[in-house]
Amino acid sequence: MTAPVAMHMSDGLLNTPTTVLFLGVAVIGVAIAAVKARADLDDRAAPMAGLVAAFVFATQMLNFPVLAGVSGHLLGGALAAILVGPWVGALCVSIVLVVQALLFSDGGLTALGANITNMALIGTAAGFGVALALKRLAARGKAGLVAVSFIAALVNTVVAALGFVIEFAIGGDAAFSLGTVAATVLGVHVLIGIGEGVITALTVGAVAAARPDLVYLLRGTAKPLELRGKAAA
């Protein structure tokens, strides 16, 4: 199983100023998402948000080593954004990363800021941006929605990996050349992105078939119920 995001970094991979910088970026981003999410999170959406978070959590458990201190895995940001919206989605992925770091020791505590920036903020934003741009295709039918989910998840994974490369360029250890890092990380994440795209497409397709009312991306696209004859009271 996989989720959409690029990578977890462990402690000690980035230097302290970079760590602090991206911690600040993450805190501001999550605070904005928390404010915006309030409008989206009603009683019906709360269990969906919790389940999306749990699902992303489960899929992020599969890790592949990419470089020393870096592992790649599914990210889940596109899945979260399509099902619960970008704000709640970013919150869900952030929560997954925080709980993983605190309870499961996955990803360094000090790299949390950079990890949240990549996977929860950049990745989710990219995935949702793609999905929004292709919304008309997604609203056309199941095949369209599945295709859009796949593309959004693939873009999400690669863009999140790109975020990591930028952070590494700013404050990474100079033992690796930037070119090697970029090529390795992006190459691996194109492959992961395809896996991620398949899982996201399967999941979104199943949800849209059973409960289209739960898919955030499809809000406002449902055809109004057609009433024939005026006798119905």
Q: How far is the CB of 170 from other proteins (least distance, A)?
A: 16
Q: DSSP string spanning 38-78?
A: HHH--TTHHHHHHHHHHHHHHHTT--EEEETTEEEEE--HH
Nearer CB in complex with other proteins: 110/156: 110
Positive or negative, the CA dihedral 73, 74, 78, 82 is negative
**Closer of 175 and 231 to other proteins (Cβ):** 175
Give burial (CB, 10 Å; 0-12/13-18/19+) of 198.
middle
Contact between 76 and 59 under an 8 Å Cβ cutoff? The reply is yes
The least distance separating other proteins from the CB of residue 71, rounded to whole angstroms, comes to 5
Give the Cα separation of 188 and 193 in Å (integer): 8
Q: Which is nearer to other proteins, 133 or 173 (CB)?
A: 173
Q: Which is nearer to other proteins, 42 or 226 (CB)?
A: 42
CA dihedral 148, 149, 155, 159 (to 10 degrees): 140
Q: What's the closest the beta carbon of residue 224 comes to other proteins, in angstroms?
A: 25
Query: Is the CB of residue 47 less than 8 Å from the CB of residue 92?
Result: no
What is the nearest approach in angstroms of other proteins to the Cβ of residue 177? 10
In whole angstroms, how close is the CB of 22 to other proteins at the nearest point? 13
Which C-beta is closer to other proteins: that of 20 or that of 132? 20
Per CB under 8 A, residues contacting other proteins are 1, 8, 10-13, 16, 19, 34, 37-38, 41, 43, 46-51, 53-55, 57-58, 63-71, 88, 91-92, 94-96, 98-99, 101-106, 108-110, 173, 175, 198-199, 202-203, 205-207, 209-211, 214
